[in-house]
Amino acid sequence: MAVMTRSSAPVRDPPLKLEFATVDDVPELTQLWYNAFSPSMLKAWPDTPGVRQWWESANRHDMLNKPHEKYLKVVDPNNQGRIAAYAKWSLETAEERGPRYPPWHPDMDVRHNDVFFQALENSRARLVGGGRRNFYLDMLATHTDYRRKGAARLLLEWGCRVADQENVPVSTLTRAKTVDQSTSAWELWFKAQRGGWRQW
Protein backbone atom coordinates (compact mmCIF):
# COMPACT_ATOMS: atom_id res chain seq x y z
CA MET A 1 0.00 0.00 0.00
CA ALA A 2 1.21 3.51 -0.79
CA VAL A 3 0.01 6.86 0.52
CA MET A 4 0.46 10.26 -1.04
CA THR A 5 1.98 13.27 0.70
CA ARG A 6 1.31 16.89 -0.18
CA SER A 7 4.33 16.74 -2.48
CA SER A 8 2.56 13.91 -4.34
CA ALA A 9 5.52 11.57 -3.78
CA PRO A 10 4.35 8.08 -2.83
CA VAL A 11 5.39 6.89 0.62
CA ARG A 12 5.71 3.13 0.78
CA ASP A 13 4.79 1.11 3.84
CA PRO A 14 7.79 -0.36 5.66
CA PRO A 15 8.74 -3.73 4.21
CA LEU A 16 8.45 -7.01 6.05
CA LYS A 17 11.22 -7.39 8.59
CA LEU A 18 13.37 -10.41 9.47
CA GLU A 19 14.08 -11.06 13.16
CA PHE A 20 15.01 -13.91 15.46
CA ALA A 21 11.98 -15.48 17.13
CA THR A 22 11.82 -15.75 20.92
CA VAL A 23 10.00 -17.96 23.39
CA ASP A 24 7.36 -15.24 23.68
CA ASP A 25 6.51 -15.86 20.01
CA VAL A 26 5.87 -19.58 20.42
CA PRO A 27 2.04 -19.45 20.75
CA GLU A 28 1.80 -17.30 17.61
CA LEU A 29 4.17 -19.64 15.74
CA THR A 30 1.93 -22.58 16.61
CA GLN A 31 -1.15 -20.70 15.41
CA LEU A 32 0.65 -19.79 12.19
CA TRP A 33 1.74 -23.39 11.60
CA TYR A 34 -1.85 -24.64 11.68
CA ASN A 35 -2.85 -21.89 9.26
CA ALA A 36 -0.01 -22.56 6.83
CA PHE A 37 -0.53 -26.26 6.22
CA SER A 38 -3.60 -27.99 4.85
CA PRO A 39 -5.74 -30.52 6.74
CA SER A 40 -3.73 -33.41 5.28
CA MET A 41 -0.98 -32.57 7.78
CA LEU A 42 -3.38 -33.20 10.65
CA LYS A 43 -2.61 -36.90 10.25
CA ALA A 44 0.73 -36.25 11.94
CA TRP A 45 -0.28 -33.29 14.10
CA PRO A 46 -4.02 -33.23 14.84
CA ASP A 47 -5.33 -29.85 15.91
CA THR A 48 -6.10 -30.57 19.56
CA PRO A 49 -5.23 -28.52 22.64
CA GLY A 50 -2.83 -31.25 23.73
CA VAL A 51 -0.93 -31.32 20.43
CA ARG A 52 -0.74 -27.53 20.32
CA GLN A 53 0.73 -27.63 23.81
CA TRP A 54 3.16 -30.32 22.61
CA TRP A 55 4.26 -28.06 19.72
CA GLU A 56 4.77 -25.12 22.03
CA SER A 57 6.73 -27.16 24.54
CA ALA A 58 8.95 -28.66 21.81
CA ASN A 59 9.74 -25.31 20.20
CA ARG A 60 10.28 -23.60 23.53
CA HIS A 61 12.67 -26.37 24.59
CA ASP A 62 14.70 -26.09 21.39
CA MET A 63 14.92 -22.31 21.63
CA LEU A 64 16.20 -22.48 25.19
CA ASN A 65 18.44 -25.55 24.98
CA LYS A 66 19.66 -25.96 21.40
CA PRO A 67 21.74 -22.93 20.41
CA HIS A 68 22.32 -24.26 16.89
CA GLU A 69 18.59 -24.47 16.19
CA LYS A 70 17.78 -21.00 14.86
CA TYR A 71 14.19 -19.79 14.79
CA LEU A 72 13.54 -16.77 12.61
CA LYS A 73 10.39 -14.82 11.97
CA VAL A 74 9.25 -12.28 9.42
CA VAL A 75 7.09 -9.58 10.95
CA ASP A 76 4.76 -7.01 9.45
CA PRO A 77 5.57 -3.54 10.86
CA ASN A 78 2.26 -2.28 9.49
CA ASN A 79 0.24 -4.77 11.53
CA GLN A 80 1.60 -4.43 15.06
CA GLY A 81 4.50 -6.76 14.34
CA ARG A 82 2.29 -9.66 13.32
CA ILE A 83 4.31 -12.73 12.35
CA ALA A 84 3.93 -13.36 8.62
CA ALA A 85 6.20 -16.40 8.38
CA TYR A 86 8.78 -18.33 10.33
CA ALA A 87 11.53 -20.85 9.76
CA LYS A 88 13.68 -23.17 11.80
CA TRP A 89 17.24 -23.69 10.61
CA SER A 90 19.37 -26.45 12.12
CA LEU A 91 23.02 -25.39 11.94
CA GLU A 92 24.49 -28.72 12.98
CA THR A 93 24.87 -32.27 11.77
CA ALA A 94 22.14 -34.85 12.21
CA GLU A 95 24.33 -36.61 14.77
CA GLU A 96 24.86 -33.43 16.79
CA ARG A 97 21.17 -32.58 16.80
CA GLY A 98 19.95 -35.87 18.16
CA PRO A 99 16.21 -36.71 18.13
CA ARG A 100 14.25 -34.21 16.08
CA TYR A 101 11.11 -34.38 18.21
CA PRO A 102 10.21 -35.24 21.80
CA PRO A 103 7.98 -38.28 22.45
CA TRP A 104 4.69 -38.07 20.60
CA HIS A 105 1.59 -36.76 22.34
CA PRO A 106 -1.16 -39.36 23.02
CA ASP A 107 -3.46 -37.53 20.56
CA MET A 108 -1.02 -38.33 17.73
CA ASP A 109 -0.89 -41.44 15.58
CA VAL A 110 2.31 -42.82 17.09
CA ARG A 111 2.81 -45.61 14.56
CA HIS A 112 2.26 -43.33 11.56
CA ASN A 113 4.64 -40.70 12.93
CA ASP A 114 7.33 -43.21 13.84
CA VAL A 115 7.35 -44.67 10.33
CA PHE A 116 7.05 -41.35 8.50
CA PHE A 117 9.70 -39.43 10.40
CA GLN A 118 12.12 -42.32 10.66
CA ALA A 119 12.07 -42.49 6.87
CA LEU A 120 12.99 -38.80 6.72
CA GLU A 121 15.74 -39.25 9.30
CA ASN A 122 17.13 -42.22 7.37
CA SER A 123 17.20 -40.15 4.19
CA ARG A 124 19.00 -37.31 5.92
CA ALA A 125 21.55 -39.70 7.40
CA ARG A 126 22.15 -41.21 3.96
CA LEU A 127 22.50 -37.88 2.20
CA VAL A 128 24.29 -35.69 4.73
CA GLY A 129 25.11 -38.02 7.61
CA GLY A 130 28.48 -39.22 8.77
CA GLY A 131 29.23 -35.96 10.54
CA ARG A 132 29.16 -33.91 7.33
CA ARG A 133 28.37 -30.30 8.12
CA ASN A 134 25.28 -28.89 6.52
CA PHE A 135 22.61 -26.35 7.35
CA TYR A 136 19.21 -27.99 7.40
CA LEU A 137 15.94 -26.18 6.72
CA ASP A 138 13.78 -27.96 9.28
CA MET A 139 10.61 -25.88 8.98
CA LEU A 140 9.22 -23.03 6.92
CA ALA A 141 5.64 -21.78 7.22
CA THR A 142 4.01 -18.69 5.75
CA HIS A 143 0.61 -17.42 6.84
CA THR A 144 -1.94 -17.48 4.04
CA ASP A 145 -2.37 -13.70 4.36
CA TYR A 146 1.30 -13.18 3.42
CA ARG A 147 1.95 -15.58 0.57
CA ARG A 148 3.79 -14.20 -2.45
CA LYS A 149 4.91 -11.15 -0.49
CA GLY A 150 8.56 -12.12 -0.03
CA ALA A 151 8.35 -13.44 3.53
CA ALA A 152 9.64 -16.93 2.74
CA ARG A 153 12.41 -15.50 0.57
CA LEU A 154 13.80 -13.56 3.54
CA LEU A 155 13.93 -16.72 5.63
CA LEU A 156 15.58 -18.76 2.90
CA GLU A 157 18.13 -16.10 2.04
CA TRP A 158 19.23 -15.90 5.67
CA GLY A 159 20.07 -19.60 5.79
CA CYS A 160 21.80 -19.56 2.41
CA ARG A 161 23.84 -16.51 3.37
CA VAL A 162 25.03 -18.07 6.63
CA ALA A 163 25.82 -21.32 4.82
CA ASP A 164 27.87 -19.40 2.25
CA GLN A 165 29.82 -17.71 5.04
CA GLU A 166 30.55 -21.09 6.64
CA ASN A 167 31.14 -22.77 3.26
CA VAL A 168 28.69 -25.58 3.96
CA PRO A 169 25.79 -26.92 1.88
CA VAL A 170 22.13 -26.29 2.61
CA SER A 171 19.82 -29.27 2.78
CA THR A 172 16.15 -29.99 3.18
CA LEU A 173 14.39 -33.31 2.94
CA THR A 174 11.07 -31.52 2.63
CA ARG A 175 9.09 -32.40 -0.44
CA ALA A 176 5.77 -31.08 -1.71
CA LYS A 177 4.15 -34.48 -1.40
CA THR A 178 5.33 -35.04 2.17
CA VAL A 179 4.79 -31.68 3.80
CA ASP A 180 1.99 -30.30 1.68
CA GLN A 181 3.88 -27.32 0.32
CA SER A 182 2.39 -25.54 -2.65
CA THR A 183 4.10 -25.66 -6.02
CA SER A 184 4.95 -21.98 -5.69
CA ALA A 185 6.73 -22.61 -2.40
CA TRP A 186 8.69 -25.50 -3.89
CA GLU A 187 9.75 -23.31 -6.83
CA LEU A 188 10.79 -20.60 -4.40
CA TRP A 189 13.14 -22.99 -2.65
CA PHE A 190 14.86 -23.73 -5.94
CA LYS A 191 15.32 -20.02 -6.58
CA ALA A 192 16.78 -19.34 -3.16
CA GLN A 193 20.32 -20.36 -4.07
CA ARG A 194 22.20 -19.17 -7.10
CA GLY A 195 22.85 -22.73 -8.18
CA GLY A 196 19.42 -23.99 -7.23
CA TRP A 197 18.63 -26.87 -4.92
CA ARG A 198 19.89 -30.32 -5.70
CA GLN A 199 17.16 -32.94 -5.99
CA TRP A 200 17.91 -36.46 -4.80
Tens-place pLDDT, residues 57-110? 999 999 999 999 999 999 999 999 999 999 999 988 777 777 788 999 999 999
Topology given in CATH for the domain delimited by 17-176: Aminopeptidase (3.40.630)
Per-residue model confidence as pLDDT tens digits over 134-150: 788 889 999 999 998 99
The rounded distance, in Å, linking the Cα atoms of 53 and 30 is 9
The pTM (predicted TM-score) of the whole model is 0.79
What pLDDT is attached to residue 126? 74
The rounded distance, in Å, linking the Cα atoms of 188 and 150 is 10
Rounded to the nearest 10°, the torsion over CA 23, 161, 172, 175 is 100
The rounded distance, in Å, linking the Cα atoms of 147 and 145 is 6
Query: Where does the pLDDT of residue 192 fall: very low under 50, low under 70, confident under 90, or very high at 90 and above?
Result: very low
The rounded distance, in Å, linking the Cα atoms of 146 and 18 is 14
- What residues does each domain of the chain span? 17-176
**In a 10 Å sphere around its CB, with 0-12 CB exposed, 13-18 middle and 19+ buried, how is residue 31 labelled?**
middle
